[in-house]
Amino acid sequence: MNKTRALVLRAPGTNCDVEAAFAFETAGADVSMVHIGELIRRDKELKDYQIMVLPGGFTYGDDLGSGKVIANEISVKLGDDVKLFVENGCLIIGICNGFQILVKSGLLPDPAALNKIQKTTLTNNDSGKFECRWVNLKVNPDSKCIFTRGIDKMYLPVAHGEGKFVADKEALNSVDMAVQYADGNDVPTMSYPENPNGSLNCIAGICDSSGRIFGLMPHPERFISGSQHPRWTGERLREQGDGFKIFQNAVDWIKHL
């Protein structure tokens, strides 16, 4: 059987590409690192892949706002390819900067809005600071998200300065809230630092109505193995990190198509 083919998109300022690739490889995918220029020059084609990963980082320095410049580049130069990719039933995951790109290009919450005015955004943390800390996440059981199937909660790190999810009322009410920041009792919370950025509705990640496009601020690729947990020395060395299932779900879903 052919392996699931995943593409990790690189651009100037991408920086979580290696660990994202490692996570997908561990989950059994065949991973290619592809520079955005290779797609634009047609040296490589998006249609040859089944999963597109937009990893974390500071694409183009996050100048003009996080993810903004590359979101514009993708919309203008790769819009048709991405639309086709989505129509073909493929998966897209955007982590941290990748989530910012998905939102600012309009691919989330509704890919039909690509290249149009965005409806939601990710903006400066309420604390006014970059925050690197671990957070509890509650996974919404009613979400259509392919990536979070079978997961009820996760403990993952965030590391961002612009992670506050904001939308107008209409968009906020209709969005599929795949994951939310939660307190120690797994109840979604608006209080800092459990909700590290002040996201409306405690939103940590959302997906589109098909469940195949998923963006989140926390980093599942940074919790694949037990020793990445901040308290493994005091608790126990887990077999596997909470983030791993996200990648496994994606690879399994493609396999069973």
Active site (catalytic) residues? 96, 219, 221
Site for another protein in 173-212 (CB under 8 A): none
Give the C-alpha separation, 196 to 233, whole Å.
24
Instruction: Please name which of 194, 177, 178 lies closest in space to residue 131, comparing C-alpha atoms.
Output: 194
CB-nearer residue toward another protein: 150 or 230? 230
What letter would DSSP give residue 245? H
Site for another protein in 90-109 (CB under 8 A): 104
Give the C-alpha separation, 83 to 19, whole Å.
27
Candidate residues 133, 141, 153, 187; the one interacting with another protein per rule CB under 8 A: 133
Residue 123 near another protein by CB under 8 A? yes
Give the C-alpha separation, 53 to 68, whole Å.
17
CB-nearer residue toward another protein: 83 or 144? 83
- To the nearest whole angstrom, how small is the minimum distance from the Cβ of residue 144 to another protein? 23
Residue 126 near another protein by CB under 8 A? yes
- To the nearest whole angstrom, how small is the minimum distance from the Cβ of residue 107 to another protein? 15
Give the position of tokens 């691919």: 107
Residue 67 near another protein by CB under 8 A? no
Instruction: Please name which of 79, 12, 11 lies closest in space to residue 46, comparing C-alpha atoms.
Output: 79
Candidate residues 176, 208, 221, 242; the one interacting with another protein per rule CB under 8 A: 221
Stretch binding another protein (CB under 8 A), from 46-54, 55-63, 87-95, 246-254: 55-63
Binding site for another protein (CB under 8 A): 10, 12-16, 18-19, 22, 35, 37-38, 41, 56-58, 60-65, 68-69, 72-73, 76-77, 104, 117-121, 123-134, 157, 159, 166-168, 219, 221-222, 224, 227-228, 230-231, 233-234, 237
